[in-house]
C-alpha cells in the first residue's frame, strides 16, 4: 500500500520553515528505511554477483586477474562516482524517488546486459552501466533518511539502510552460489533470440531482469519534507552546487580532509575484500562455488548485520550522551581492533580460521557506511547533502572502492609465494591503522563542525 498521502512535499525546494514541521510517524519513517534498504540490497547483489563467477568468466573471455580487478573496481566504481556527481546535485533539487526509480531500472538492465558480453570490453561497458545506475541511490536515499529521522536516531536508521548492502553482498554469495549450482545441472542453456549461452551469462540474466519490476517499490515511499535548508531557492546549475559545497568545506578543512582520508582508506579493504574473499577461499582451500556461497554468504550477512546494528545503536547512544564525534570515535577504535584479527585470518592456512576471522573483522568494520554518511549529513546543510554524499563517493569510490580490488590483486603477486591472502593482509596492514589515525585526529574538528551545524 502506498504511503504517498503521509507527506505533503513534492518536487522542488521547500521553505526554510519546513524544518519546524514534525517528523513523520515512526512507522512511516521505518517503512521508508526498509524499502530503501531493499533497493540497496538489490544494488549490491547486482554489483557483487560477479565475484562468484571470476574463474568461469576468465576462462571463457580469457581475462587476467588485473583485468578482473578493473571490472570489480575502477570499471564499476569509476562510473558510480562520476555519475554520482550528477545524481548528487539533482538529489538536492529534484524529486528523490524519481531519481531512484530511474537508477534502479537502468542498473538492472545493465546487469542483465553483463550476461550478453562476449569479450572484456563488452563486459566492462555493461559494468560501467551498472555503476552509473547505482549512483542514483545513495545521494537520494541518505538525504531522505536525514529528513525522516531526528539527529539522535539517524545513525541507527543509516545502519539499517546500510544493512541492505551487507545482505546484498551475502546474498550475492548465497543466492549466486545456489543459482550457479542450479544452472550447472543444465546441459545446454538456450535463450530465445540469443541461442546458447554460458552458465555465468544465465546468472546475470536471472539476477538482473527482476530489478526492472522491483524499481517500482520506491513509489510506496513518501517524499519527505526537506529540513535544514539554508534558502528556498537552490543554486542555478548543477556545477553551482559543487562550488557551494567546496566553499562550505573550505571553512572546515580539517574535518573534511581527515574524514575523507579515514573512511576512504577503510573502504579500500572493506570494498576490495568483499571482491576477493570468495576467490581466495576457492583458490586456497579448493571450495566449490556452492560451498563458498553457502558458507561465506550467511557469515557476511550475520557479521554485517551485527556490526551495523550495534554500531548504529552505540553511536546514537553516544550522541544522546553528548558525544558529537561518536561516528568517528567508534569507527576509529573498530579499525584498530580489527587490524590484527584481519591479518591473522588473511594469513591462515585453515579455511575455517579464515572464515571465522574475516567474519569477526567484518563485524568490526561493518558500521563504516553508516558512520561515514551520518557524520557528513549531520554537518552539512540540507541543500548540499546529496551533493556532499556524491562528492565523498567520488573520493571513497575511486580511491577506495575502485583501487581496493586492484591493490589486493597487485599485492597478492608480491613475494616468493603469491596469493590473494597476501594481498588481503598487505591491504589490511596498510589501510586499517592509517584510517584509524585519520579518524581519531578528526574528533576535535568534528565537534567544532557539529557545534556550528546545531546552531544553524
Domain boundaries, the chain: 19-229+238-454
Q: How would residue 11 be classed by pLDDT, with cut points 50, 70 and 90?
A: very low
d(CA 258, CA 224): 31
Lowest mean pLDDT among 60-69, 191-200, 420-429: 191-200
Mean pLDDT of 91-105: 94
Q: How would residue 231 be classed by pLDDT, with cut points 50, 70 and 90?
A: low
Neighbours of 211 (CB within 10 A): 23
Mean pLDDT of 53-58: 82
Residue 236: is its pLDDT beyond 70? no
439, 304 Cβ separation under 8 angstroms: no
d(CA 191, CA 122): 19
pLDDT value at residue 61: 87
d(CA 30, CA 161): 10
Residue 429: is its pLDDT beyond 60? yes
Distances (CA, A) of 441 to 43, 45, 197, 438, 449: 33, 35, 53, 5, 14
C-alpha cell at 184: 550447472
217, 97 Cβ separation under 8 angstroms: no
Q: What residues are paired with 190 via a beta bridge?
A: 196
Q: How would residue 22 be classed by pLDDT, with cut points 50, 70 and 90?
A: confident
C-alpha cell at 328: 568517528
pLDDT value at residue 230: 63
Q: How would residue 14 be classed by pLDDT, with cut points 50, 70 and 90?
A: very low
C-alpha cell at 354: 579464515
**11 or 203: whose pLDDT is higher?**
203
**173 or 100: whose pLDDT is higher?**
100
Q: What residues are paired with 197 via a beta bridge?
A: 189
DSSP H helices, 215-350, are 238-250, 253-285, 289-320, 326-346
Contacts of 451 (CB under 8 A, 6+ apart): 324
Mean pLDDT of 397-404: 78
Q: What residues are paired with 196 via a beta bridge?
A: 190
CATH superfamily of 19-229+238-454: MFS general substrate transporter like domains (1.20.1250.20)
DSSP H helices, 49-136, are 54-61, 65-72, 74-91, 96-114, 120-134
pLDDT, averaged across the chain: 86
Cα dihedral across residues 21, 26, 27, 30: positive or negative: positive
Nearest to 361 by CA among 411, 296, 409, 418: 296
Q: How would residue 145 be classed by pLDDT, with cut points 50, 70 and 90?
A: very high
Amino acid at each position: 500500500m502506498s504511503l504517498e498521502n503521509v507527506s505533503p512535499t513534492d518536487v522542488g525546494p521547500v521553505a526554510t520553515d519546513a524544518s519546524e514541521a514534525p517528523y513523520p510517524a515512526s512507522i512511516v519513517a521505518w517503512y521508508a528505511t526498509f524499502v530503501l534498504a531493499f533497493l540497496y540490497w538489490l544494488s549490491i547483489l547486482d554489483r557483487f554477483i560477479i565475484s562468484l563467477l571470476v574463474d568461469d568468466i576468465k576462462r571463457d573471455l580469457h581475462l587476467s586477474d588485473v583485468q578482473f580487478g578493473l571490472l570489480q573496481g575502477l570499471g564499476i566504481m569509476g562510473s558510480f562516482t562520476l555519475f554520482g556527481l550528477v545524481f548528487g546535485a539533482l538529489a538536492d533539487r529534484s524529486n528523490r524517488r524519481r531519481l531512484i526509480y530511474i537508477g534502479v531500472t537502468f542498473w538492472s538492465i545493465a546487469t542483465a546486459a553483463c550476461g550478453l558480453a562476449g569479450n572484456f570490453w563488452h563486459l566492462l561497458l555493461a559494468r560501467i552501466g551498472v555503476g552509473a545506475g547505482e549512483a542514483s541511490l545513495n545521494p537520494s536515499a541518505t538525504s531522505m533518511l536525514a529528513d525522516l529521522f531526528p539527529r539522535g536516531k539517524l545513525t541507527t536508521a543509516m545502519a539499517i539502510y546500510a544493512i541492505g548492502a551487507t545482505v546484498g553482498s551475502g546474498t550475492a554469495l548465497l543466492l549466486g552460489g545456489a543459482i550457479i549450482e542450479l544452472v550447472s545441472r543444465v546441459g545446454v542453456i538456450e535463450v530465445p533470440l540469443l541461442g546458447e549461452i554460458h552458465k555465468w551469462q544465465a546468472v546475470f540474466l536471472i539476477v538482473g531482469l527482476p530489478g526492472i519490476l522491483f524499481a517500482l517499490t520506491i513509489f510506496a515511499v513518501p517524499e519527505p519534507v526537506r529540513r535544514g535548508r539554508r534558502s528556498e531557492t537552490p543554486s542555478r546549475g548543477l556545477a553551482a552546487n559543487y562550488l557551494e559545497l567546496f566553499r562550505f568545506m573550505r571553512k572546515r578543512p580539517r574535518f573534511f580532509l581527515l574524514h575523507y582520508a579515514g573512511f576512504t582508506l577503510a573502504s579500500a579493504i572493506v570494498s576490495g575484500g568483499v571482491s576477493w574473499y570468495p576467490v581466495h577461499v576457492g583458490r586456497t582451500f579448493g571450495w566449490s562455488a556452492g560451498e563458498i556461497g553457502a558458507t561465506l554468504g550467511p557469515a557476511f550477512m550475520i557479521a554485517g548485520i551485527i556490526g551495523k546494528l550495534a554500531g548504529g545503536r552505540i553511536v546514537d547512544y553516544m550522541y544522546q550522551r553528548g558525544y558529537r564525534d561518536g561516528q568517528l570515535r567508534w569507527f576509529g577504535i573498530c579499525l584498530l581492533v580489527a587490524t590484527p584479527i584481519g591479518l591473522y585470518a588473511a594469513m591462515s592456512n585453515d579455511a575455517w580460521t579464515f572464515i571465522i576471522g574475516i567474519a569477526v573483522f567484518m563485524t568490526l568494520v561493518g558500521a563504516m557506511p553508516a558512520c561515514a554518511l551520518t557524520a557528513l549529513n549531520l554537518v552539512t546543510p540540507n541543500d548540499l547533502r546529496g551533493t556532499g554524499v556524491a562528492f565523498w563517493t567520488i573520493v571513497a569510490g575511486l580511491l577506495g572502492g575502485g583501487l581496493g580490488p586492484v591493490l589486493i590483486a597487485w599485492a597478492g603477486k608480491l613475494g616468493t609465494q603469491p596469493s590473494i591472502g597476501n594481498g588481503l593482509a598487505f591491504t589490511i596492514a596498510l589501510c586499517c591503522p592509517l584510517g584509524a589515525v585519520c579518524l581519531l585526529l578528526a574528533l576535535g574538528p568534528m565537534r567544532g563542525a557539529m557545534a556550528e551545524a546545531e546552531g544553524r
